[in-house]
Every structure is written in structure tokens, then in C-alpha cells.
Amino acid sequence: MINYEIYIAIAIMAGVNLFTRAFPFIFFKNHEPPSAILYIEKYFPAVIMTILILYSLKDINFDVTPYGLKEIGSVLFTAVLHLSLKNYLVSIFGGTIFYMGLVQYF
């Protein structure tokens, strides 16, 4: 994107982001939200996080060596790190450094 497109994109994201935060305060001040909205709000965060993992890895080419093994290995490494140490900064940085090591030296 060129700069003015980036500014528009930032404005859109700022607006939409504020909307998601203000949404309940605008619409559900005095009455309960419909069950479909409660359902999406409860389960969709888990869905979108799974989607975002795959989305961030969408450019892997499984046809050439090492067939995405570096990425899959780093995802597993990050997950194990997070499950064992339970510190999200350690997990994010540990996982990233692990992956950078793999792609830069192997």
C-alpha cells in the first residue's frame, strides 16, 4: 500500500475497533443482547484466533523442502513454551527467535 491508502486503512481500523468496544454500551445499555450475538461473542474469538494462525502462515509452500516443517515446528515450540511457562512474552519471543534461527541458519 502507498501512504495515503495506509492512512485510510488506519482510519477504518480505528473506527471499526472503536465500534467493537462501544457496541454494548450503545445498543445493550438497558436490555439483553439477542442470543445470536451472545453466541458469536462467546465462541467466535476462539474461531478467529485459529483462523489467524493459519492466515499468518498462508504463504508456506508445502511442495518444496522443508515442506512447512520449520513453521509447524515453531508453532509447536511456541505452544509447548506457553503451556509449560505460562508467560506470554516468553512464549512469543521464544517462538519468534526459534523460528528466526531456523530460517536464518538452516
Partner 1 sequence: MMGYLVLGFAFGLLLVSFKYDWYLAPLMSLFIYAGALQFVAIGFFNAKVGFIDIAIASLFVNIRQSFYGLSFLKRFRQTTPFKKYLIFGLTDETYALLTTIKDDKKLSKRHYYFFLTALNQSYWIVGSTLGALIGSELTFNTKGLEFSLTALFVVLCIEQYKNLQNVYPFIIGFFASVLALILVPTDKMLIASILIALILLFFFKQRVEND
**Contact footprint for partner 1 (CB under 8 A):** 1, 3, 5-6, 8-14, 16-25, 28-29, 33, 36-37, 39-59, 71, 74-75, 78-79, 82-83, 88-89, 91-93, 95-96, 99-104
Are the C-beta atoms of residues 37 and 24 closer than 8 Å to each other?
A: no
**Shortest Å, Cβ 5 to partner 1:** 8
Q: Which is nearer to partner 1, 1 or 64 (CB)?
A: 1
Minimum CB distance to partner 1 smaller for 65 or for 104: 104
* Pairwise CA distance, residues 98 & 96, whole Å: 5
- Please give the biggest Cα pair distance in the chain: 59
